[in-house]
Structure 1
Amino acid sequence: MTTPVEIREQLLATIRRFVEREVLPVASELEHRDEYPHALVARMQELGLFGATIAPEYGGLDLDVTSYAMVVEELCRGWMSLSGVLNTHLMLAYMLRVHGTAEQQRRYLPAMARGEHRGVLCLTEPHAGSDVQRIRASAERRGDAYVLNGSKMFITNARYGTLYAIAAKTDVHADPPYKGISMFIGEKGPGLTVGRDLRKLGYKGIETCEVNFEDYAVPAANLLGGKEGQGFRQVMSGLEVGRINIAARAVGVATAAFEQAIRYAQQRETFGKPICEHQAIQLKLADMATKIDAARLLTYRAADKKDRGERCDVEAGMAKLFASETCLEVATEAMRVLGGYGYTQEFPVERFYRDAPLMIIGEGTNEIQRLVIARQLLQRYKV
């Protein structure tokens, strides 16, 4: 499935107008207040973005992953938190599309495409982040339902989301442990409690919460794909899309930081000339732009492989790794170009600087990305 170029360009033009006219005028104020952007999310719903990658038979836009990455990049040039509203939602939609039963797809994807259901991914736990197979949440079959118990941590969209993809152990004795993980689709109800909102350095305006399950009953029909023990494989396929999302976010934030720096460099004067005429500044600008373009191309390569139905864990890992490191570097360099003003809230560079570290941690730390990349490369080039 490839999105026609003219449709992609029309959508991107619409997103750019949305960002310029509606996001940028309010982003800094909402971010500094750590206020959920209800009005902007409603506009994203009107634009059909909650159905970005959902098939047309369920009311979605059916964008390919490459086009979706471009949408994420444009949103993040305005405010990175907006892309977080979409990420877990579309990861769940992808898992339903690829691994869900026909009944699960019919039941949930139309409402997800309309934004009436908003997806949440409950994976990370207080004692299991990068080491997913060590999760402790359990699911016990009791008649026509599974009863879930456990806690999740750092859950994006938990408070305002309505549809939860929950990783839990159906076989706590499985060896290796990942074979005991299953995925469940649940809605808010008795036994599911959204706990405290975690206060964060950046990525503000979007909730990141604890979620607790205490004898939370899920119908057996809500076991993703209808078969136990497939959860690890299912969530890993979704994380490929998630890592492409993170890479695209990083490209968008880095681009916004670069644009602030290069504009400021042409307006600020020292020693009788604009600072952009000083070689020290020119070297920074050249390195920033080159690395952003490289990060963008790595992101598009990973997205293209995903679009062609190929395994892309290495490519998605490379894109996420390089783009996130580039984003942090560019945000730091942009702050240096702006000098004292870059450290104030007079310019959005300080926001980019606070948002950038999320991409290094989110959807698998960069240390994990390096391990994934190395292990797969050793398999590819085995002697």
Structure 2
Amino acid sequence: MALDPETLDQLRDMIRRYVRERLVPMEAQVAEEDAIPDEVVQEMRDLGLFGLTIPEEYGGIGLNMSEEVQIAFELGYTSAAFRSLIGTNNGIGSQGIIIDGTEEQKQKYLPRLATGELIASFALTEPEAGSDAGSLKTTARKDGDYYVIRGTKRFITNGPRAGLFTVFARTDLSSTNAAGVSAFLVEAGTPGLSLGAIDKKMGQKGSYTCDVIFDDVRVHKDQIIGGVEGQGFKTAMKILDRGRLHISAICVGSAERIIHEALTYAIDRKQFGKPIAEQQLVQAMLADSQAEAYAARCMVEETARRRDAGQNVSQEAACAKMFASEMVGRVADRGVQIHGGAGYMQEYAVERFYRDVRLFRIYEGTTQIQQLVIARNMIKQAKAGM
């Protein structure tokens, strides 16, 4: 569904005010305590932020891709932990159900995901399977009307909070590639499901990841997404196209925040008798950052428009994810440099953003995976045209 322009503007303005007036002032506290306060979680529920992309008929707002990226630009302006909290419900944790789930699965889970009553998590990565998702070791052995899942998932975002896991496991035990992988909906509390310790990460404090361990977890066949075996990898790829665009938009929002912090500091900070913003080499860093952020914004908006028009945007989404995540790393580096010694101090936001944005080049597909996706698409298209 597409909102009318006035309604979208109202939603974007509301989220912008909430981000800048409520969340930005709380960033240091969240980083220090490694926790988002419970009252903020409830505020985000009350504002409908857990159901931004879930269809209206299931209690969400039903944003299309173009609308979603506009909201993601705003959410990227603050600490990544806030976005991460709601991100799985709006993205990889719900989209499998929305895209490929049965009507019964949608009715059962989407309304609770939309309100934030239930937190969703996407359990794909394993100790020996990340970028090579087709080499999953987690198995789901059929036992009558049930499947018995055994294996370990690693670095699972919102795992410690999750009430529902989308779990990818090998149902064809003789297969050695993605064709034998299925996607299951597994509820927290199911016997045999346990969690590892919360990971201690370089950045993104307040956003939790952990191992999720499946020790002979029994789930009914009705919990396979779409009710069909062997479709899990295809479902994952459909989800990741949208997820990569969302992360690209978050990178743009983060870059714009870093540029704001660097520009403000450069105007206020004086060296050699004048603000450093008047020094040409500082201006060059500001200008490069602004141009790159603008380029990434344009890529994201155009790719979102194409996706909403029904085009296959796997290559374009990979381009946007690769460029935007690498771009925000360069912008963060320049932001620290413009701050000088102050940029290395935790009292300045750029120090935290420098650490936080590093992860964007890794999850939802590393830069190197994006390069492979892009190049292989190029080769495929060239051969088709010969």
- Coarse TM-score class (shorter-chain normalised): over 0.9
Q: Which residue of 2 aligns with 1:71?
A: 71
Compare 323-332 and 94-103 and name the one that shifted more. 94-103
Q: Which residue of 1 aligns with 2:53?
A: 53
1:86 Cα deviation from its structure 2 partner: 2.5
Q: 1:99–1:224: 8 Å Cα contact kept in structure 2? A: yes
Q: 1:301–1:315: 8 Å Cα contact kept in structure 2? A: no
1:169 Cα deviation from its structure 2 partner: 0.2
Q: 1:36–1:207: 8 Å Cα contact kept in structure 2? A: no
1:37 Cα deviation from its structure 2 partner: 3.9
- Structure 2: which amino acid aligns with 1:181? V
**Residues 51-104 of structure 1: CA deviation (Å, up to 9, x unaligned):** 111111111101111221222221121211111122222223221111011111
Give the Cα–Cα distance (whole angstroms) in 2 for the partners of residues 291 and 41 of structure 1.
33
Q: 1:246–1:362: 8 Å Cα contact kept in structure 2? A: no
Q: Which residue of 1 aligns with 2:97?
A: 96
Q: Which residue of 1 aligns with 2:372?
A: 371
Q: 1:153–1:209: 8 Å Cα contact kept in structure 2? A: yes
**Residues 261-310 of structure 1: CA deviation (Å, up to 9, x unaligned):** 11111111111111111110111111100000001111112222222232
1:281 is paired with a residue of what secondary structure? helix
- Structure 1: which amino acid aligns with 2:151? G
Q: 2:51–2:89: 8 Å Cα contact kept in structure 1? A: no
Give the Cα–Cα distance (whole angstroms) in 2 for the partners of residues 210 and 306 of structure 1.
33
Give the Cα–Cα distance (whole angstroms) in 1 for the partners of residues 166 and 156 of structure 2.
11
Give the count of matched residue pairs.
382
Give the Cα–Cα distance (whole angstroms) in 2 for the partners of residues 76 and 259 of structure 1.
13
Q: 1:2–1:307: 8 Å Cα contact kept in structure 2? A: no
Give the Cα–Cα distance (whole angstroms) in 2 for the partners of residues 17 and 315 of structure 1.
31
What are the residue-to-residue correspondences of 1:100-179 with 2, within 5 Å? 100-174=101-175, 177-179=177-179
Q: Which residue of 1 aligns with 2:344?
A: 343
Q: 1:145–1:218: 8 Å Cα contact kept in structure 2? A: yes
Q: Which residue of 2 aligns with 1:85?
A: 85
Q: 1:265–1:274: 8 Å Cα contact kept in structure 2? A: yes
Q: Which residue of 2 aligns with 1:17?
A: 17
2:280 aligned with 1:279: yes
Compare 246-255 and 131-140 and name the one that shifted more. 246-255
2:37 aligned with 1:40: no
- Large movers: runs of 4+ above 4 Å: none
Give the Cα–Cα distance (whole angstroms) in 2 for the partners of residues 111 and 125 of structure 1.
27
Give the Cα–Cα distance (whole angstroms) in 2 for the partners of residues 317 and 17 of structure 1.
31
CA RMSD of aligned residues (A): 1.2
Q: Which residue of 1 aligns with 2:2?
A: 2
**Residues 236-280 of structure 1: CA deviation (Å, up to 9, x unaligned):** 100111111211111111111100011111111111111111110
Q: Which residue of 2 aligns with 1:322?
A: 323
Q: 2:36–2:82: 8 Å Cα contact kept in structure 1? A: no
- Structure 1: which amino acid aligns with 2:203? G
Q: 2:181–2:233: 8 Å Cα contact kept in structure 1? A: yes
**Residues 173-211 of structure 1: CA deviation (Å, up to 9, x unaligned):** 226x11100000010121110111111111110111000
Give the Cα–Cα distance (whole angstroms) in 1 for the partners of residues 378 and 233 of structure 2.
21
Compare 369-378 and 140-149 and name the one that shifted more. 140-149
Unaligned runs of 5+ in 2: none
- Structure 2: which amino acid aligns with 1:296? R
1:7 Cα deviation from its structure 2 partner: 1.4
Give the Cα–Cα distance (whole angstroms) in 1 for the partners of residues 9 and 182 of structure 2.
39
Q: 2:88–2:120: 8 Å Cα contact kept in structure 1? A: yes
Q: 1:45–1:115: 8 Å Cα contact kept in structure 2? A: yes
TM-score, reference length from structure 1:
0.97
Identical aligned residues as a percent: 40
Q: Which residue of 2 aligns with 1:305?
A: 306
1:45 Cα deviation from its structure 2 partner: 1.1
Give the Cα–Cα distance (whole angstroms) in 2 for the partners of residues 79 and 4 of structure 1.
29
- Structure 2: which amino acid aligns with 1:204? K
2:40 is paired with a residue of what secondary structure? helix
Are residues 158 and 134 of structure 1, via their aligned partners in 2, closer, same or farther at CA, if it must alter by over 3 Å?
A: same
Give the Cα–Cα distance (whole angstroms) in 1 for the partners of residues 103 and 174 of structure 2.
30
- Structure 2: which amino acid aligns with 1:381? A
Give the Cα–Cα distance (whole angstroms) in 2 for the partners of residues 358 and 266 of structure 1.
30
Compare 350-359 and 299-308 and name the one that shifted more. 299-308
1:368 Cα deviation from its structure 2 partner: 0.4
Give the Cα–Cα distance (whole angstroms) in 2 for the partners of residues 179 and 11 of structure 1.
41
**Residues 97-126 of structure 1: CA deviation (Å, up to 9, x unaligned):** 110111111111111111111110000000
Q: 2:123–2:168: 8 Å Cα contact kept in structure 1? A: yes
Give the Cα–Cα distance (whole angstroms) in 2 for the partners of residues 179 and 37 of structure 1.
42
1:24 Cα deviation from its structure 2 partner: 1.2
